[in-house]
Amino acid sequence: MPASTKTLRRSLLVTSAALTSLALTAPAALAAPSPTPSASPSATPPAAMSTVGGARLGMPGTQVDLGTDAPVVPKDITARSWIVADAESGDVLAAHNAHWRLAPASTLKMLFADTVLPKFPATMTHKVTTADLAGVGAGSSMVGIKENETYTVRDLWLGVFLRSGNDAVHVLSSMNQGVANTVREMNEHAEELQALDTTVVSPDGYDAEGQVSSAYDLTLFARSGLQKKDFREYCATPRAAFPGETKKDKKGKSYRSTFEIQNTNRLLSGTDSDIPVYQGIAGVKNGNTTNAGATFTGVAERNGHVLLVTVMHPEKNEHNEVYKETAKLLDWGFTALGKVRPVGELVAPTNAQPSAQPGANASPGQAGGETGGAAGTGQAAASAPAVGGSSGMGIALGIAGGALVLLAGGVFLVNRRWPLPDLVRRRR
């Protein structure tokens, strides 16, 4: 397909998605799209898919190139699509229908965060209005944001990452000139990342006609987002304190208490008895909707290696199956490192260039440099109060060597080294 035609087609998709998202500003009862047969994915992958990252990634079925003494891929993986990649080198160790376009659910919030997070400092406050919460879909996951209450940007991002709060997404979208503008920017950023399987309709990942992504694209979103220090710290926080409603005591004095929120990433929080905390886990995002089934992208470090695994829609209908299959693929990946030949790669953004000085020009809240802390607060997100004696500091991903990717002067700077020091020790 000629480049001009492809660009035009992509532009039309972005425009269509932005127009569709305007419906999300209507009352929830009108805006919440219900799944339709046409929106439900087929159980059979296309015969031909995108070849971004390599020809084998466009082939249906499992793609792996085993070397001597390499372990076989686990036989009991039932996900419609999955990928195992080296987060530092970008090598894809194995994949299964990597470019199959499926409903992404809340894993799409990784793209939302990677797009919007750099725009507002963590200490900025916002008083929530009725309009901010308009269009939140029926049955959405919520963190519990209340109208006429004031929250910091840090509060809102904790609501997005820990509780997958669609209410927090809509408030941040409202701050970002509205849902339609946010959808447009997310589609543009997806194109910059070469995530061409993705079409965004709703910024929170709520089921919507035509909204799709792929295991490959979700992995690109995670890799890009994790190169921002505040993104890493938010997604690695297992639990935190969240502001409640303002109330008055018997003397008429106003007060505001907090309540605990826990990360819905079971491999990180360990809140379910059948899913232990995965050693070395550091995020990033899970999701579950009618169309998408369960989806999850996880990052973990072991023996100095960092792997990204995305699993979409396991067919096996068991409790926490998406986490169980992710853990199996992570275990396989760490064992297979150096014993398999890559079957593809995670491509760099279209405007990427090597970073000569990692961490240089990193502005607060944008990149992986140690300056600025989480979202521009001047201190790590982990230092904020948390409930139950645990905080983000326990698993915050302080990356040695400074920034990996930063948006500075419109140029995407890339440092491919990606260590996560002391992660295993902190997560024991």
Indicate whether 308 pLDDT > 80: yes
Question: Quick count: other Cβ atoms within 10 Å of Cβ 256?
Answer: 11
Cα gap 71→259, rounded to integer Å: 45
Burial class of residue 37 in the structure, from the number of CB atoms within 10 Å of its CB (0-12 exposed, 13-18 middle, 19+ buried): exposed
Residue 394: which region, alpha, beta or left (left: phi > 0; alpha: psi -120 to 50)?
alpha
Contacts of 3 (CB under 8 A, 6+ apart): none
Closest CA to 217 of 187, 195, 235: 195
Largest pairwise CA distance in the chain: 75
Give the least confident one: 264-273, 313-322, 387-396.
Answer: 387-396
Phi, psi of 408 (to 5 degrees): -135, 120
Extended strands (E) in 290-400: 293-302, 305-314, 340-341, 344-345, 352-354
Say yes or no to pLDDT of 218 above 50: yes
State yes or no: pLDDT of 3 exceeds 90.
no
CB 404 within 8 A of CB 368: yes
pLDDT value at residue 270:
87
pLDDT of residue 384: 33
The region of weakest confidence among 74-83, 139-148, 266-275, 370-379 is 370-379
Read off the pLDDT of residues 142-189 as tens digits, 9 standing for 90 and up: 999 999 999 999 999 999 999 999 999 999 999 999 999 999 999 999
pLDDT at 16 over 70: no
Average pLDDT value for residue range 312-316:
96
Q: What's the mean pLDDT when you consider all of the chain?
A: 80
Q: Is the pLDDT of residue 15 over 80?
A: no
pLDDT one-digit tens code per residue, 325-354: 999 999 999 999 999 999 999 999 998 765
CA distance 360 to 403: 7
Average pLDDT, stretch 222-241?
92
Q: What is the mean pLDDT of residues 244-263?
A: 95
User: In angstroms, what CA-CA distances link 412 with 221, 227, 404, 407?
Assistant: 14, 11, 10, 5
Helices (H), 179-320: 179-192, 215-225, 229-235, 266-269
pLDDT tens digits along 347-402: 999 987 654 433 333 333 333 333 333 333 333 333 333 333 333 323 333 332 23
Neighbouring CB atoms inside 10 A of 226's CB total: 29
Q: For residue 359, what pLDDT is reported?
A: 38
